[in-house]
Amino acid sequence: MRFRHKSLIVLLLAALATTALANVEPLHAQHGIVVSIHELASKAGVEVMQAGGNAVDAAVATGFALAVVHSPAGNIGGGGFMLVRMADGKTHFIDYREKAPAAATREMFLDAQGNVIEGASEIGYKSIGVPGSVAGMVYAEQRYGKLTLKQVMAPAIRLAREGYALSWGEVQDLHDKHLSEFAESRRIFQRGGNYYRPGEIFRQPELARTLERIAAKPDDFYHGAMAREIAAAMKKGGGLITAEDLAQYEVKEREPVRGTYRGFEVISAPPPSSGGTVLIESLNIVEGYDLAKLGDRSAESIHFTTEAFRRAFFDRAEFMGDPDFAKIPVAQLIDKKYAEAWRETIHSENATASKDLKRPAIFSELEEYAAAHPQPVENHEAPHTTHYSVVDAEGNAAAVTTTINDWFGSRVTVDGLGFLMNDEMDDFSSKPGVPNLDGLIQGEANAIGPGKRPLSSMTPTIVVHGDKTLLVLGSPGSSKIITTVANVLMGVVDYGMNIQEAVDAPRFHNQWLPDVLNVEQWFSPDTVKRLQTMGYKVEFGLHDDESVVPYWSDAECIAIDAKTGERLGASDYRNSGKAVGY
């Protein structure tokens, strides 16, 4: 997702618009498959499956490999969620989201006047949350994998030590101006100013050594010498994370959220992600409309779906946060009766103005909570993260979304250890009601607090038909993650697309505030005109102060053919990912 370069966007648009439907067949694999943003990471997962590993081994191998070959988002210095559904139907949701350090305070990103200090939660040491990725991947491997940690980390260690050839796009990414603000990041990723060129081999010896140390003694990252080294580097840079914070970090297994949609079971991410709840609430609302009959990407089907997104994001802003710190009314939000009440507020031909939205008063829990909290205000939209999907030969599946939040996270590389740290503190509300990097408004439940997990939109999702896994879905894209997953899911279920078509199909997005309907560049101007007459403010692409990006997200998904059992891998044609199978 390197559409930060405006000149490139224009060229790409011309090329992509004509190739939009050129390759509509997913990759067909007979046994196991991995779909990710980088071919080498997908290959790492397949390599361990071919060596006898299962989907979890492959997910962990892919995750560590992404930390090497996809530095802007793949990581060991961030966090993520892994949703596993084994072939016998058992599910596991592993939460390894970052946590705020103990010294974090509610006002840490505010100035003396109580205003948000721009950029403070996004760049540099104070923006870093206690990373959970190593703990989460090690936990998943030890509980649910078949191989050893050393075996599944071998491909990542090899890639870090021997290096890999950088593509043109990866080289452009490494020019990131904020990376140069941190000496260790500038030394490693920008070769001290002698920037890498396309085709050059990028070797990361410090990261290779760190990965070898994790493979040999994983606990060292949180309780041993490595924890002390990380804490010392954080202190030196003015950060808050201490060895004690690392020692206190814990992975949580949680119950995923579950809903149904037109007879399919949808299993997705629970709080501290808002993803599954907002997805299921949206699907419950649109279930009342015959979208297939209204027609794929028709103004009417977009209207009803947008109204559903608007309402679910309105609730997201009000209620969502870390469930270990606040009661989150998930059961009410995903209740079909609540969706029915919401539907009654949707006009058949006119858009609802976001500012006029009124929550149906059918659940006292929601009313009492909302009455106690001020309604937030609006703002901007911006960009990074990565998702990958795995299915093995037995039919076990894993959907994993992992992040360091912004592209290259906080831009801080830990001295001597060769890995980038997240800026996940920006996912908290720096000030309830004021938007974060993603333009998202969030309420009291997501205020900063020591030891708390910031609210996420990551939505690793598995769709089941009968007792069989049908779809493994997910994407990066901040707030657009949720609508991207919904767009792909509805593409298959409502519009009869194959998984590749559903991934490639043009997306649309609304998140309550700002009150805008974003559509990707490929939408028909006629449809857009019709939507405008319905009252929508439609924007082609995503706009911010500096640029317009024509398309978004990176859905890396799998379907399983119910008849043949074939694994069908769909990597998003918007980016340079790859499905690899055998």
The answer to whether residue 511 forms part of the interface with ligand DON (CB under 6 A) is: no
**Interacting positions 326-385 with ligand DON (CB under 6 A):** 383-385
**Is 403 a residue that touches ligand DON (CB under 6 A)?**
yes
Nearest C-alpha neighbor of 384 from the set 402, 372, 370, 369: 402
Give the interface segment with ligand DON, choosing from 87-95, 325-333, 441-449, 450-458 (CB under 6 A): 450-458
CB of 186 to ligand DON, least distance (A): 23
Query: Per CB under 6 A, does 271 bind ligand DON?
Result: no
Q: How far is the CB of 15 from ligand DON (least distance, A)?
A: 22
Q: Tell me how many residues contact ligand DON (CB under 6 A).
A: 13
Closest approach of ligand DON to the CB of residue 403, in Å = 5
Interaction between residue 123 and ligand DON (CB under 6 A)? no
Based on the shown chain and the rule CB under 6 A, indicate whether residue 389 belongs to the binding site for ligand DON. no
Nearer to ligand DON, 37 or 560 (CB): 37
Select from 444, 448, 412 the least CA-distant residue to 427. 448
- If one asks whether residue 456 binds ligand DON (CB under 6 A), the answer comes out as yes
Tokens at 190, concatenated: 């920008």
User: How many CB atoms neighbour CB 322 within 10 A?
Assistant: 24
**Dihedral in degrees, nearest 10, Cα atoms 127, 444, 386, 241:** 30
Minimal distance, residue 457 CB to ligand DON, in Å: 4
- Considering the complex, what minimum distance in angstroms separates the CB of residue 454 from ligand DON? 7
- Residue 442 interacts with ligand DON (CB under 6 A)? no
Residue 525 has, within 13 A of its CA and on its CB side, a CA count of 0
CA dihedral 493, 494, 497, 503 (to 10 degrees): -80
The backbone torsions φ and ψ at residue 453, rounded to the nearest 5 degrees and listed phi first, read: -95, 130
- Told to check if 457 binds ligand DON by CB under 6 A, we report yes
385 among known catalytic residues: yes
152 Cβ neighbours under 8 A, 6+ residues apart: 48, 53, 57, 58, 60, 61, 64, 141, 145
Contact region with ligand DON (CB under 6 A), list: 30-38, 64-72, 141-149, 456-464? 456-464
- Contact with ligand DON (CB under 6 A): which of 282, 352, 446, 478? 478
Q: How far apart are CA 75 and CA 61, in angstroms?
A: 12
Query: For the window 248-267, what string marks contact with ligand DON as x by the rule CB under 6 A?
Result: --------------------
State yes or no: residue 476 binds ligand DON (CB under 6 A).
yes
In a 13 Å sphere around the CA of 264, the CA atoms on its Cβ side amount to: 24
x-marked contacts with ligand DON along 410-429 as a string, rule CB under 6 A: -----------------x--
Asked whether position 481 contacts ligand DON by CB under 6 A, the answer is yes
Residue with Cβ nearer ligand DON (476 or 581): 476
Selected catalytic residue, list 277, 385, 461, 469: 385
Q: How far apart are CA 40 and CA 59, in angstroms?
A: 13
Q: Using CA atoms, how far apart are residues 270 and 259, in angstroms rounded to an integer?
A: 12
Four-CA torsion 407, 408, 409, 414, nearest 10 degrees: 180
Question: In this chain, which of 74, 477, 550, 569 binds ligand DON, going by CB under 6 A?
Answer: 477
Contact between 405 and ligand DON (CB under 6 A)? yes
How many Å is the maximal CA-CA distance in the chain? 64
Q: Which is nearer to ligand DON, 442 or 527 (CB)?
A: 442
CB 257 within 8 A of CB 330: yes
DSSP string for 278-294: HHHHHHHHHTTS-HHHH
Q: How far apart are the first and last CA of the chain?
A: 27
**Which amino acids are annotated catalytic?**
385
Residues that bind ligand DON in the complex, under the rule CB under 6 A: 383-385, 403, 405, 427, 456-458, 476-478, 481
